Structure 1
């Protein structure tokens, strides 16, 4: 796995990560629920229901609760889990399509993110229908008034752009349909349209966090997308005067780790802990003995320890802006 390739892929991932949340007016902000939308960085198992892009097999989940491969692209917890843990909501976030999803999960947190997907999925009727079905189930369990309050006090995470640019455009058929600037503009339109749909479904008071402009002189394409995205979200804020926008940056702490791994106690920042060109090979035994010494679990996704450092850094810098 080349360091340069990882560098570019995570620029794209970090600079397309949107965090939406709704809050009350209290000084100490709390969240009742967390929802996640997007791709593999936030996927807690929705990908298990897709024909491809799965990771619900060992060695994934080697260090997760019960040592179970749940569909998370990691050896353990991912940012979705770590954020709800840090906010004191719950320990982990179940995927919405989890067969044994409990009523209590509907009240606290569910994940809609799916590995391998891009913003195209967000524009489909399928995902929006999942959200509507969720709201109907939540209303049945909690009652209409509490369901509305729960959604209004939610934190909604959305990660988009990595697969769209890195896969759908760079290595896919989108090049035949769009110039790159036109495609970036279309991605922003799709993103803001989906957010408008979420707003219409009950997120009446929300603040918006998007990835701030990253240092990406080596990646002009990603910079172009990021600038258009910032403009699109600013337009959304002007349309909804109650919106508050704050840039959410996961690239800087990740770049610090990959640039100076020893400073953070890592021994390897160039290879993934498990085997495989992209993902870990199913049931492979070619896995490092201690994942906490590696920055990356597979060739694209960090280990739980790396995620913990990144999430801690981001929340420390961002939570004060919620009050």
Structure 2
């Protein structure tokens, strides 16, 4: 049995394909747009960095047969290309590809990509995504003498839960040379915002402080001016009422991202099979140059039009 067979990465559904399609479409636009810039003789060195790469593939279960097959049918396991393999297939190609994965079994399968594609500059790194992203952008080829100004990257942050630290986002913004696709964990953040204010323990507060990069979320999502119901009861403390829904959390997250990134796209809603919003997919950039922002806007507009909010029936986005 091969390493890849032993380390199947089973996750997602139709919503995963939307996420991967949006990113892949942008990658195709990105390498075409930059292949002769700033000049054909001296083009940018393009990077694709996948911070939560998994095995490079993903396995899904689906019904075999067709509508005309008698009986209940059977389930089959199908291996599909994950974000890493899709990035390798982009043409014109990225000059450098870096895949980060913490899990040792998934990482072992991921490393096989280097053998499968020996002519590509593929770096597989095992470790925490936050730490390894810092290493990539502060050392090695990215900061090499005489070429650092020509390095350009697309970073894909598809985290497990709320595992992207705010200082990681700030560092990516400060490069001013990285476009960042960030799958913001909308549902996970909403779940941490307890309906009962007293249930906000140190763990929940710490997680929310990290994902938003501030403690101001508490005043934003809880009403501390709850009217007193008993004029003669001076001992009972009013419980702050929660005021949070997916739209409000998404808007607050977008506002926070705008404090460190020069460009923050309209988010693409990523829905689960139950048609509830699980994530918000943002494209971010710290590049302050008007020409760069114009190009990024052009590239992401097509994805927002195809996969964004306006492409969905209103009752599905809630």
Query: TM class, shorter-chain normalised?
Result: 0.3 to 0.5
Ranked by relative contact order (alpha carbons within 8 Å, sequence separation 6 or more), the top structure is 1
More helix by share: 1
TM-score (norm 2): 0.34
Question: Which of these two proteins has the greater Rg computed from alpha carbons?
Answer: 2
The TM-score, its normalising length taken from structure 1, stands at 0.34
